[in-house]
Structure 1
């Protein structure tokens, strides 16, 4: 069974390894370029500042790393669609599965060998690219921060490994149900994309209890990029960030010392259009705001939880596939 599976899988494997090798070579070159730029921007003498270095690396590599990250996340989706989806669907569609089953190979063993080998190959391929991107982008991530950013978090370290396992198992299970290769490929890509959109918005923020903090508004303080906006007569703080943390409160009302939103009269009094005067006015009112965030030291906790979430989903689908395969395929 192992030899037969490798023979059937060799064409997809060679194409995938070839594409991954090209991307891996580019990531090595990119990593060396980022390190040279980092050394030049940070160690340029007394006139250098970290803000200037951040601006330089951000302008030079933000788009490039964003596209590379997109490819890393896309890789498990393609593996699921082109490796996982045809794994069973193509066999059933063409009827070749009957030949193996008539040779005394049980359906469970047939599925276990095929699914195990392809899943392992997908994990190895994804891990290689994820490790290389994490290494290449490490100076950038160290300087810029934002490891919890939804465009960065799923592209680094161990989270993509869970995506690869899930994508292969999902493609195989869907193929077991539809028995049509092209349909399975489309459904696998759709399911993977939907999960990548829904999970960060609905599940990931709640994987660990968020920390709630009250922040005093002080005139002249940067407050990590926070700004005041007026919405419906309510003064709200937007854009507040904590270095390295994942701030969940993107917009929060300015409150008085009693914890109630500032009255409309106070907001009208402090909204003159002169920024310095407005800040001094809000400070005189002893305004504060409440934010919820996941601290920076929970980054690896969330990486492991993300990986575990996708592994559990994959395990549930695999259990269903092994339950289903002896039924309804005669």
Structure 2
């Protein structure tokens, strides 16, 4: 190592922890708020997996034992309490990616570009690329560390009610599905990248907040549309009296003819055209994902979302390059860090 490159390497080595400390200090209120929200949700989910689920299960046991020939006494409050707090916790987990996107757009990049703090940092031996890399990496670790245990606790809370609580949500309920698995973490990371991109595009806090939420809404919608097609489906048939077979995420349903052909269900029961279609049918068919496809769908959907997140991160660096131009070495001989 030459005498010229030695100070450069030392400056870069010293700059990394300094940048990390600066990001944590600058966004300390958000860090405290995130930690507080994670702790509160964890406490609620632990309660749902334990005493709240047990009380609700006992209430349903009492209700199912009623013969309704006289007064029926059961713990309705416990049943409703579990249902309400489960919905609150599920909604909170599903909203987290949108909160992350809004914060990333408004505070992480938008406000710093709007106030000139970012450009000031770029003149203090910090390259724009490293500035952005640290601002994405540090919050990404915090987001992953917060959402990972939460979706696991939510899955425990949901599983605690299976077979015991009559009103427990199905595994394929759209809000339960995402709150129950790693798609929560993947969506939160996508929200971080989407918000950062919005801040770089608008360079103003409020518009970036709105655009970040719009971006993550698009990612959520894309994942929801593609999810049923990311894993091979199962097709089952049943007679006309039995109705549609199977239970899960439905991809396609219809009628089965005597030749085995599939027809769309007319969804009617009275007019002549309806009778003509039903006369050709011998049963119903369903193409769907059963419960055994839960984890394959979770993992493939998470992979898809993370791939989109990678594209958003790449877009962030391309937009930053357009704003700042190629990185060059400072004329003083001090390298950007």
- Matches of 2:187 and 2:316, distance apart in 1: 18
The count of aligned residue pairs is: 289
- Matching of residues 1-330 of structure 1 within 5 Å: 1-37=19-55, 40=58, 61-141=82-162, 144=168, 146-200=170-224, 202-218=225-241, 223=242, 226=243, 240=244, 242-243=246-247, 245-249=248-252, 252-253=254-255, 255-259=256-260, 287-329=282-324
Normalising by structure 1, we get a TM-score of: 0.75
Whether the 8 Å CA contact 2:187–2:220 is kept in 1: the answer is no
Q: Deviations over 1:236-273 (max 9, x none)?
A: xxxx4525x32334x534x44245769x9xx769xxxx
Residues 56 and 10 from structure 1, CA distance in 2 versus in 1: closer, same or farther, beyond 3 angstroms?
closer
Measure, in 2, the Cα distance between the counterparts of 1:324 and 1:256: 56
- Provide the C-alpha distance between the structure 2 equivalents of 1:205 and 1:57, rounded to a whole number of angstroms: 35
Following superposition, the deviation at residue 328 of structure 1 comes to 2.1
Give deviations 1:100-159, integer Å, cap 9, x for gaps: 211222111111111100111112222232222222221224655721221211111211
| Distance change >3 Å, CA 141–CA 160, structure 1 → 2 | farther
Cα displacement string for residues 220-245 of structure 1 (whole angstroms, at most 9, x for unaligned residues): xxx4xx4xxxxxxxxxxxxx4525x3
Contact kept in structure 2, 1:216 and 1:288, CA below 8 Å: yes
Shift of 1:286: 7.9
**Structure 2 counterpart of 1:234:** none
Unaligned runs of 5+ in 2: 1-18, 67-75, 272-277, 326-337
Shift of 1:316: 0.5
Q: Which stretches in structure 1 are left out of the alignment for 5+ residues?
A: 49-54, 227-239, 270-281
The TM-score, its normalising length taken from structure 2, stands at 0.74
- Residue by residue over 1:50-91, the C-alpha shift from the partner in whole angstroms, topping out at 9 and shown as x without a partner, is xxxxx9998664443233211101012102211454211111
Residue 16 to residue 241, structure 1, CA distance change in 2 (3 Å): farther
User: Mean alpha-carbon deviation: is it higher for 60-69 or for 319-328?
Assistant: 60-69
- In 2 relative to 1, CA 323–285 (structure 1 residues): closer, same or farther, beyond 3 Å? closer
Q: Do 2:105 and 2:208's aligned partners in 1 also have CA atoms closer than 8 Å?
A: no
Inter-CA distance 142–124: structure 2 relative to 1 (3 Å threshold): farther
Partner Cα separation in structure 1 for residue 190 and residue 175 of structure 2: 19
Superposition deviation, residue 3 in structure 1: 1.3
Over the residues paired in the alignment, what is the CA RMSD in angstroms? 3.5
